[in-house]
Structure 1
Amino acid sequence: MHIAVVGAGLSGLTVVRQLQSQGHHVTVYEKSAGVSGRMSTRQTELGGFDHGAQYFTASSDRFKKEINDWKKLGWVAPWEEKLVSLDHGQSKPAGKSATRYVATPGMNALGKQLAHGLDVRKEQQIVGLEAHGNQWLLKVQADTVAIAASAGPFDAVLLAIPADQAAPLLGEFPAFAVEATKSIMLPCWTLMLGFQTSLELPYGGAWVNQSRLSWIARDNSKPLRRSGERWIAQASPAWSIEHLEEDPERAKEKLLKAFHEATGSWIQPIHAVVHRWRFAQSEHPLPFDFLWDVNRKVGVCGDWFAAGLEGGGRVENAFLSAVALAKTIG
């Protein structure tokens, strides 16, 4: 079949690679200028900032096997830095967890590797699906074209995008649209900080309690990163919801103050930028692996499906959901 996949994050790229190995011809449409979705790295003159997903773990045998393959290829490495819990500036050891992995030399590097050799159409946003006999046409909006153009026809269409972005495209599949609206996607404000000197904090990352922040991490503590003191600070879901439409400069000031309070370090950064993720993580993952209409050949996958795991919003969810959908398509 000739299949269109919307979204070039980890779930989209995984489902494409699986489908191509099964003999299908696949075209990917991505609204952004690059691949990887929320596994993002922003490059600056100071080095890279992993301002989306911070790391990933594996609990399923299938994902553990995939990670082992990625490790052999040099695409990922364990992040073995000390992590703590911060409460009003006081640090406590964080509980033991499964091995944490990061892509190298930045989180977006994994997506770039997975996208190699694929037909990915970047900066093309899909704004509608239109039935064309037993096939589908896509309405494509690009900055270079004044009106939406058509692409296709395709034998099947798969959406590998956040639930809030998938729902408007599922007008001809009201049951699917209803399911998508159930999976509430929480926002996240992220602060990126660069410093001229080391803050000399005795940890590489921390969960922050009783704060506007929920997580901080020293990017250069991850393997194969460029040297230099670079920190990521991610706001709590509650604060991000309350301040979703905050002026970016005001959000930056408030989160920087929270960072100083959490770490006890008042050294001023030489670089400070914020990024707002409107759809960062699923609050209510759907209790399925994916959605798929076998007759009309439209499906949905992503990290907002439980895919057999407890909870959602993780890299592992995205991967398992994609693999399961591709296997079902055959």
Structure 2
Amino acid sequence: MHIAVVGAGLSGLTAARQLQSQGHHVTVYEKSLGVSGRMSTRQTELGGFDHGAQYFTATSQRFKKEIADWTKSGWVAPWNARLVTLNNAHTTVAGKKGSRYVAIPGMSALGKQLAHGLDVRKEQQVLAVERLGQQWVLKIQSPSVAIPASAGPFDAVVFAIPADQVVPLLDVAPEWKEQVQQAALTPCWTLMLGFQNSLELDFDGAWVQQSRLGWIARDTSKPEHRVGERWVAHATPAWSVEHLEDDHERVKEKLLKAFHEATGSWIQPIYAVTHRWRYAQAERPLLNDCLWNAELGLGVCGDWFAVGLDGAGRVENAFMSGLALANKIS
């Protein structure tokens, strides 16, 4: 079959690789300049910032096997971070719960490795999916072309994008629309900070209590990351929702103040930039592992499926959901 995969994050790339290994002809459409989705690394003159997913863990035997293969290939490495909980600058050591891994030399590197050998069409946003007999045609918008173009026909289409972005494309499958809407993702404001010198903090990552921030991490503590003093801070879901439409300068000012208060360090950064993730975390995951309708030739996967795991929104969920969907397609 000729299959279109919409989205080149980890779930979409996993599904595409598995489908291609099964003998299908696969084309991946990605609206952004690069692959990896929320496993992103922002490159700057100071070095890279992992401003999306910070690390990943594994609970299932299947994902543990995959991580072992990635580690053997040199794509990922353990992050032996000193993790704490911060409460009004008071530090409490956090208990270690399993191994944590990161892609090297940045989180986006894993997606780039997985994209090798795939036909990935970047800066191609899918606006609509239309039926053509027993097949599908995609309506594509590209910044290099003034009007939308058509792509296809395809025997099947796989959506591997956030639930909120899938919903407008599901007019062709109304029975799924209400179900997918239940998995709306919460946003996250991210602050990236670069400093001239070390802050001399005795931890690498921290869950922050009673703050606008929920998490901070020393990006440069990760293996094979460029040296320096770079920190990433994620605002809490509640704060991000409340301030979703604030301008970047105002958000930067508020989150920088929260970073100073949380760490007790008032050293000013030489680099400070914010990024708004509109669809960051699945707070109400769908209990399935994916959605697949063989009669229509439509499927949906992503980290917002529970796939039998405790929680969602993680790299493991994305991988397991993409794999599950590909295995359902004969």
Question: Which position in structure 2 is the counterpart of 1:58?
Answer: 58
Alignment of 1:83-162 (within 5 A): 83-162=83-162
The AA in structure 2 aligned to 1:47 is G
Alignment of 1:262-301 (within 5 A): 262-301=262-301
**1:239-289 alpha-carbon deviations (Å, 9 max, x no partner):** 000000001000000000000000000000000000000000101000000
Question: Which position in structure 1 is the counterpart of 2:191?
Answer: 191
Number of aligned residues: 330
Looking at structure 1, the residues matched to 184 and 171 of structure 2 have their Cα atoms a distance apart, in angstroms, of 18
Residue 117 of structure 1: how far off its partner (Å)? 1.5
Looking at structure 2, the residues matched to 227 and 114 of structure 1 have their Cα atoms a distance apart, in angstroms, of 26
Task: Work out whether 1:308 is the aligned partner of 2:320.
Answer: no
The AA in structure 2 aligned to 1:227 is V
Question: Which position in structure 1 is the counterpart of 2:3?
Answer: 3
3-state SS of paired residue (2:59): coil
Question: Which position in structure 2 is the counterpart of 1:67?
Answer: 67
Task: Work out whether 1:246 is the aligned partner of 2:271.
Answer: no
Report % sequence identity: 71
Residue 311 of structure 1: how far off its partner (Å)? 1.1
Question: Which position in structure 2 is the counterpart of 1:48?
Answer: 48
Looking at structure 1, the residues matched to 94 and 168 of structure 2 have their Cα atoms a distance apart, in angstroms, of 40
Looking at structure 1, the residues matched to 192 and 175 of structure 2 have their Cα atoms a distance apart, in angstroms, of 40
Q: Which moved more, 1:21-30 or 1:175-184?
A: 175-184
Question: Which position in structure 1 is the counterpart of 2:327?
Answer: 327
Question: Which position in structure 2 is the counterpart of 1:206?
Answer: 206
Looking at structure 2, the residues matched to 196 and 120 of structure 1 have their Cα atoms a distance apart, in angstroms, of 38
Task: Work out whether 1:24 is the aligned partner of 2:3.
Answer: no
Residue 92 of structure 1: how far off its partner (Å)? 0.1
Residue 96 of structure 1: how far off its partner (Å)? 2.0
Looking at structure 2, the residues matched to 181 and 98 of structure 1 have their Cα atoms a distance apart, in angstroms, of 32
Question: Which position in structure 1 is the counterpart of 2:169?
Answer: 169
3-state SS of paired residue (2:274): strand
The AA in structure 2 aligned to 1:149 is A
The AA in structure 1 aligned to 2:37 is G
Looking at structure 1, the residues matched to 114 and 155 of structure 2 have their Cα atoms a distance apart, in angstroms, of 23
The AA in structure 1 aligned to 2:176 is F
Structure 2 unaligned segments of length 5 or more: list them: none
Q: Give the superposed CA RMSD.
A: 0.5
**1:53-74 alpha-carbon deviations (Å, 9 max, x no partner):** 0000000000000000000000
Residue 95 of structure 1: how far off its partner (Å)? 1.9
4+ residue runs of structure 1 moved beyond 2 angstroms? none
**1:159-205 alpha-carbon deviations (Å, 9 max, x no partner):** 00000000100111112111110002000000000000000000000
Looking at structure 1, the residues matched to 85 and 94 of structure 2 have their Cα atoms a distance apart, in angstroms, of 5
3-state SS of paired residue (1:175): helix
Looking at structure 2, the residues matched to 81 and 314 of structure 1 have their Cα atoms a distance apart, in angstroms, of 18
Q: Which moved more, 1:187-196 or 1:88-97?
A: 88-97
The AA in structure 1 aligned to 2:53 is A
Question: Which position in structure 1 is the counterpart of 2:255?
Answer: 255
Looking at structure 2, the residues matched to 327 and 130 of structure 1 have their Cα atoms a distance apart, in angstroms, of 24
Q: Which moved more, 1:172-181 or 1:70-79?
A: 172-181
**1:109-142 alpha-carbon deviations (Å, 9 max, x no partner):** 0000000121000001000000000000000001
Looking at structure 2, the residues matched to 229 and 311 of structure 1 have their Cα atoms a distance apart, in angstroms, of 32
Residue 25 of structure 1: how far off its partner (Å)? 0.5
The AA in structure 2 aligned to 1:56 is F
Question: Which position in structure 2 is the counterpart of 1:228?
Answer: 228
